[in-house]
Amino acid sequence: MAINLLNTSTVVAKNLNVLVYGQAGAGKTSLIPTLPTPVVISSEGGLLSIAGSAIPYVEVSSMDELRDVYQWLLDSDESKQFESVAIDSISEVAEVCLGTEKKSNKDPRAAYGEMQTTMAEVIRSFRDLPRHVLMTAKLEKSQDEMGRMLYAPSMPGNKTGQALPYFFDLMLALRVERDAEGVTQRALMCDGDGLWQAKDRSGKLDQWEGPDLGEIIKKIGA
């Protein structure tokens, strides 16, 4: 059997795949217009903040509708005009998926198990589309044994949430803080600090980046 030996020096980022999470009102949806030629898959109906951007979107309320959109993105000529796909939000999609599984499974543990399997397939499928892919997620707060507040993406089921970072090259926390003068600042946290989860597999981003995914794409060379 012939072995095709490659070298890591030739590895380049072809497309951005990123999960952005943050509190309600932080402006996660407002990141979508910073992507190149995006189309939005909306499961929350919370697109009012980008109403002036004239971005095409598809509403989904079931897993069957989501699968139909995936197939459309994969096969249709119409979808080829879009360089980026944004799912807003993957947390809500997981809730829809869990609701579907609860209807067909009397055992709640079985429903959560099926949801975890289905969501892993969904995330991988959309992530691997030949486009830039953004998925937004809600914020989940928890407390460790030392009483410290911990912040992470919110997903139903512990295993689903714990697995999320492994699916993406970038997992960024959209933070909203006030500076010394009381002015609100928004920034993307790109590296975790033990309290907030974040990661940058490219190694090309600073600890903090501005809330512009187009600029991040340029910086990592995707």
d(CA 193, CA 121): 29
The answer on pLDDT for 14 being more than 90 is no
- pLDDT tens digits for 134-183? 999 999 999 988 889 999 999 988 777 888 889 999 999 999 987 778 78
Hey, how many other C-beta atoms are within 10 angstroms of the C-beta on 150? 13
CB 192 within 8 A of CB 198: yes
- Give CATH for domain 15-220: 3.40.50.300
d(CA 94, CA 202): 27
Residues 6+ apart with CB under 8 A from 153: 19, 21, 91, 137, 138, 139, 140, 161, 164, 171, 197
pLDDT at 46: 78
CA torsion 59→61→63→69, rounded to 10°? -10
pLDDT at 222: 67
CA torsion 24→29→34→38, rounded to 10°? 160
SS3 52: helix
- pLDDT tens digits for 102-128? 888 888 888 889 999 999 999 999 999
- pLDDT tens digits for 127-138? 999 999 999 999
For the chain, the domains span 15-220
d(CA 35, CA 20): 13
CB 205 within 8 A of CB 219: yes
Confidence of residue 10 (pLDDT cuts 50, 70, 90): low
Average pLDDT on 85-114 reads 90
